[in-house]
Amino acid sequence: MAKTPRTPLSGSAPEGPVSDTGEERQGELRPKAHSEQIPVTSSQRSGDPGSAGIRPGVTGSGRDGVREMRPTDDLTAAQRRELIAGMTPEDAERVPELHEVEVPAELQERIEHAMGRYPQLRSAAIPALWAVQRHHGWCSPEGIRQAAAVMGVTPGYLEGVASFYDLFHTNPEGRHRVLVCHNISCWMNGGDALLEAFAEATGADAGEAGHGGASSTDGEFYLQGFECLGACDMAPMASIDEIYFGPLELADAATAVEQMRAGEKVLEDKALGKRPAAAGPEPEPDPRMAKVENGGPAAQPQEASDGA
Ligand code: FES
């Protein structure tokens, strides 16, 4: 079968791939075939792992001047190590050693506890980052390095996770975190007005809060319009310092902000203290479940009122 020329990744393609009928398809990208042969430089032919280096998945020798491209799944462990070494820049950040980093004992304990809950230690990245954010107030470079040392991963790995999820803050934000839902159910029940009420009470910019989040000038509050917080049944609602509150009225915004400033409990009668935000504090055991686990009656049959 005829080999097709490689397609440029950007810009206009002077020569597109060629179909089975020989017809040229201008500018069309296609997946790379596993056995595709690609030209290599003289340094690659000579096995020099210098600047030209080893190319991903390029192993063995084909015809003169051509190397065979193989999927990395087909590589042996030694070939895979060689490939990774060839792709790793000399100045790549390495895994920090635990003795090189000063990790607060409480933070280390939380991260190690999270690591113990997963067969793959890397799976603890999200709870470890929560621990960092709660300890430092944000996912600071220092905090990420501390978590990386405990977990035995590179800081870059954790930074990649932290920068992907918008509940993680990679910049310092206000001390109290207020997320006001303005998705469909909350919006229909006054979510936008509630966000504005929180903006007025905290001093954060309402426009910015509704488009990515904003901190108050005194650094006390971080306010963000969010969607959807998954508690549509209590619309309009907000998550304040990882606890859900709702349904809220406009006046609740000023009350909640005053209470936070005074260091008091917030909107106690509207808090779903046992219903945490995503990845929020561990909930207390549901008393109904505890009853069943302790030998009580199993779940009751549904009420006849459901029409069954
Ligand atoms: S729309 Fe607000 S929680 Fe779902």
Cα 216 to averaged position of ligand 1 atoms, centre (Å) = 24
- Are the C-beta atoms of 198 and 267 separated by less than 8 Å? no
Write out pLDDT tens, residues 111-159: 999 999 999 888 999 999 999 999 999 999 999 999 999 999 999 999 9
Nearest ligand 1 atom to the CA of 182 is 2
What topology is assigned to 176-274 in CATH? Answer: Glutaredoxin (3.40.30)
Residue ranges around ligand 1 (CB below 6 Å): 181, 183-186, 228-232, 235, 237
Alpha-carbon gap, residue 64 to 75, rounded angstroms: 22
- Nearest-atom number in ligand 1 for the CA of 181 is 2
Per-residue H/E/C for the chain:
CCCCCCCCCCCCCCCCCECCCCCECCCCCCCCCCCCEEECCHHHHCCCCCCCCCCCCEECCCCCCEEEECCHHHCCHHHHHHHHHHHCCCCCCCCCCHHHCCCCHHHHHHHHHHHCCCCCHHHHHHHHHHHHHHHHCCCCHHHHHHHHHHHCCCHHHHHHHHHHCCCCCCCCCCCEEEEEECCHHHHHCCHHHHHHHHHHHHCCCHHHHHCCCEECCCCCEEEEEECCCCCHHHCCCEEECCEEECCCCHHHHHHHHHHHHHCCCCCHHHEEEEEECCCCCCCCCCHHHHHHHCCCCCCCCCCHHHCC
Domain ranges of the chain: 42-162, 176-274
CA of 229, closest atom in ligand 1: 3
What's the rounded Cα separation, in Å, for the pair 106 and 108? 5
From the CA of 235, give the closest atom in ligand 1.
Answer: 2
Interval between CA 233 and ligand 1 midpoint (Å): 8
CA of 240 to the centre of ligand 1 (A): 15
Encode the chain (308 residues) as per-residue pLDDT tens digits: 444 444 333 333 334 344 444 444 444 444 434 444 434 334 444 444 443 344 445 545 555 556 667 777 788 888 888 887 787 777 778 899 888 999 999 999 999 999 999 998 889 999 999 999 999 999 999 999 999 999 999 999 999 999 999 889 999 999 999 999 999 999 999 999 999 999 999 999 999 999 999 999 999 999 999 989 988 989 999 999 988 999 999 999 999 999 999 999 999 888 885 555 554 455 555 565 556 556 554 444 343 334 33
Sheet order of strands, 221-226 included:
214-215, 221-226, 176-181, 238-240, 243-245, 271-276
Q: How many residues does the chain have?
A: 308
Ligand 1 center–CA 3 separation, angstroms: 53
Name the residue among 167, 70, 150, 57 with its Cα closest to residue 110.
Answer: 150
Spell out the residues 6+ positions from residue 86 whose beta carbon is closer than 8 angstroms to its own. 49, 53, 54
